[in-house]
Structure 1
Amino acid sequence: MKRCIVPAVIFLLVAAACQQPAERSATSAAEDSSLIDVDTVPSVVVDSVTTVKADTITYDESMLVGKWLQPVPGVEKEMQGFQLKKNGGITSINTYSLVYSKWKLMHDTLLLWSRTEGAKQKDSSLTIDTILIRALTDSSLILFPIKAAEGYTEEYRKVKKK
């Protein structure tokens, strides 16, 4: 009996596998719920991603030339900063261990090349600080160092020539 059942089951499986799939009738396609309320009016699909224009702010290099100072943290009577000179020259003011070598303006980004000097300094390699200019007027400079925490800014005041 078992010998007859096993070949019969195998025959049924082979026969079922060899059958041609039944053609879908036109009425069965209409039963698909995704096709019932299709809008036949052509429409234009607008991309849902908002495109933000690249930052195109460009500052005038001549506005940056001069002495820029800020209070020394903890010693508000003392001032520190830098003097930006024409043709990329720069000098640190009241930051004796920080020695600047040059500066460059690229649109709204200020690049400062510097190295730290000190008696116990292990590495005095050249560092390039990348700083975004948030605001620039004749008397004020607000900077955001890209390595700083969100919302942190440094504010400098320009020293008027006497």
Structure 2
Amino acid sequence: MVRFNLLCLSLLIMTVACNPVHKEPVEEVRHDSSLVNTADSSNAGITDSIAAVADTLHVDAAKLIGKWMQPVAGVEKEMQGFQLRKNGTARSINMYTLVYEKWQLAHDTLLLWNHSEGVKDTSGMVDTIIIKALSDTSLVLFPVKAAEGYTEKYRKSIK
């Protein structure tokens, strides 16, 4: 009797193992997006922030030579700024942790190399600044990392 039960069990296992399970085929649904209406954004009025814009200001490098000063925020009696020299060197004025080293003009863009002193991280960097306006006595700058519309105004120091 035990042999008969083992034989039946073996046959049952073989039948189940040899009988493949039939799966229903999965129906793929493909969507044709060419028939979907899309809004025309060609005249959306949004300016591409990556697009190159032609220089709108011709900057005379000779006008940049000198000391440019502005009031210290919160302490209007104190002045701070930078000096640009003919030989391409630059220095900070009354900015004790920020030390300017050199400068370069590329079209309407002022590049100022600097590093920090007296702080934990003394790594060097280059400030990239767009010159918005320049006269014999005033300089208006827009740092490229600043919020849109932000400007820094400097006056040329005769001292």
TM-score interval w.r.t. the shorter chain? 0.5 to 0.7
Contact 2:69–2:80 at 8 Å: present in 1 too?
A: yes
SS at match of 1:87: coil
Q: Which residue of 1 aligns with 2:17?
A: none
Q: Which residue of 2 aligns with 1:78?
A: 78
- Give the gaps of 5 or more residues in structure 1: 1-47
Partners in 2 of 1:113 and 1:159 — Cα distance? 21
Shift of 1:55: 1.8
Q: Deviations over 1:24-72 (max 9, x none)?
A: xxxxxxxxxxxxxxxxxxxxxxxx8xxx862253311110000000000
When the two structures are superposed, what TM-score results if normalisation uses the length of structure 1? Answer: 0.64
Which of 126, 129, 147 in structure 2 is aligned with 1:128? 126
Letter aligned with residue 90 of structure 1: A
Partners in 2 of 1:134 and 1:158 — Cα distance? 15
Identical aligned residues as a percent: 65
Q: CA RMSD in A?
A: 2.3
Letter aligned with residue 65 of structure 2: V
Shift of 1:91: 1.0
Q: Which residue of 1 aligns with 2:99?
A: 99
Pairing of 1:8-87 with structure 2 (within 5 A):
54-55=54-55, 57-87=57-87
Partners in 1 of 2:71 and 2:148 — Cα distance? 21
Letter aligned with residue 133 of structure 1: I
Q: Which residue of 2 aligns with 1:112?
A: 112
Question: Which aligned segments of 4 or more residues in structure 1 are displaced greater than 4 angstroms?
Answer: none
When the two structures are superposed, what TM-score results if normalisation uses the length of structure 2? Answer: 0.65
Q: Which residue of 1 aligns with 2:23?
A: none
Number of matched residues?
113
